[in-house]
């Protein structure tokens, strides 16, 4: 039993929390911005735990669809479904259980948030399929990973103001940037297997496009911050985030696999820095 639980732990990638963090930071941006202060403890609990559960369920679904592809990709060939350490149906059972728990959490919020949660679940389940035909699946990932933003505003304000969509659009550009860095690690394998990715689509312009997406992320966040009346603390945080992004561009210029993966992992500090800027503005 303990051995099986360890396999499930690896299936949902709780041993690799970067995905949780990249999903959590935009959600926290939205919650603190929507509350204009510290959100209610119940809302924080629902969204933080829901983020962990839904990212975990998403990993199980992703690996279910990719189980035959992962075996032929250097970075993913050791995943538990690729090696058949667990049966494919077990991944679906795990995803379903985690999804039901998440549904129970979101049912304690309002009807608008529940509706948005259904859309978020659809996005999470369908994302793996987009890699089969969509040239830039990272854009779809940005919507899926950022859907906690409109949900957060809905849970607190029972509406979705325009600024929430600005945050979401910023997150889409950010996801394209960091997930292109991630895709650059697998580019050779993906090309051989016929899997779509932004790293393949952008080709030799990949670094330039990543830089552009970072710039658009910061620009849109700046517009959102100005809309909300934020001051020097938020914009100082954006400046620090910009310096981090510049460092990432320096790392990936040589397109070395290890350097690209390092840049991808380091994106949590961009999300955290933006969150600190928002938190300082609304809590001060």
Closest CA to 31 of 53, 19, 47: 47
Question: What is the per-residue pLDDT for 77?
Answer: 80
Closest CA to 62 of 88, 100, 24, 39: 88
Among 3-7, 187-191, 244-248, 272-276, which is the least confidently predicted range? 187-191
Considering only residues 97 and 188, tell me which one the structure prediction assigns the higher pLDDT: 97
Domain coverage including residue 169: 2-283
Summarize pLDDT for 204-245 with one digit per residue, the tens.
899 999 999 999 999 999 999 999 999 999 999 999 999 999
Among 137-141, 181-185, 239-243, which is the least confidently predicted range? 137-141
Domain count, the chain: 1
Q: How confident is the model at residue 193 (pLDDT cuts 50, 70, 90)?
A: low
**Sign of the four-CA dihedral 232, 234, 236, 238:** negative
Percent pLDDT > 70 in the chain is 99
Provide mean pLDDT across the span 115-121: 94
Provide mean pLDDT across the span 20-29: 96
Is the Cβ–Cβ distance between 283 and 33 less than 8 Å?
Answer: no
Q: What CATH number corresponds to the domain at position 15?
A: 1.10.357.140
Considering only residues 99 and 68, tell me which one the structure prediction assigns the higher pLDDT: 99
């Amino acid at each position: 039993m303990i051995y099986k639980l360890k396999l499930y732990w690896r299936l949902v990638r709780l041993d690799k929390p970067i995905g949780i963090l990249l999903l959590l930071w935009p959600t926290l941006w939205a919650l603190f911005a929507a509350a204009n202060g510290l959100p209610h403890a119940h809302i924080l609990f629902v969204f933080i735990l829901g983020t962990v559960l839904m990212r975990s369920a998403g990993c199980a679904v992703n690996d279910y669809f990719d189980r035959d592809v992962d075996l032929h990709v250097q970075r993913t060939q050791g995943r538990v479904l690729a090696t058949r350490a667990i049966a494919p149906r077990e991944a679906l059972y795990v995803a379903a259980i985690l999804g039901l728990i998440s549904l129970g959490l979101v049912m304690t919020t309002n009807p608008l948030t529940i509706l948005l949660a259904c859309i978020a679940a659809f996005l999470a389940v369908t994302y793996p399929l987009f890699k089969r035909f969509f040239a830039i699946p990272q854009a779809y990932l940005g919507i899926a990973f950022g859907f906690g933003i409109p949900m957060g505003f809905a849970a607190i304000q029972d509406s979705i103001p325009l600024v929430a969509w600005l945050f979401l659009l910023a997150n889409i550009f950010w996801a394209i940037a960091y997930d292109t860095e991630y895709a650059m690690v697998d580019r050779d394998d993906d090309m051989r297997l016929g899997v779509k990715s932004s790293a393949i689509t952008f080709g030799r312009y990949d670094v330039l496009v990543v830089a552009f997406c970072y710039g658009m992320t910061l620009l849109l966040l700046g517009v959102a911050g100005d809309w909300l009346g934020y001051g020097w603390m938020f914009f100082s945080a954006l400046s620090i985030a910009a310096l981090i992004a510049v460092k990432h561009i320096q790392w990936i210029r040589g397109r070395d696999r290890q350097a690209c993966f390092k840049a991808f992992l380091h994106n949590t500090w961009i999300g955290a820095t933006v969150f600190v800027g928002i938190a300082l503005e609304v809590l001060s």
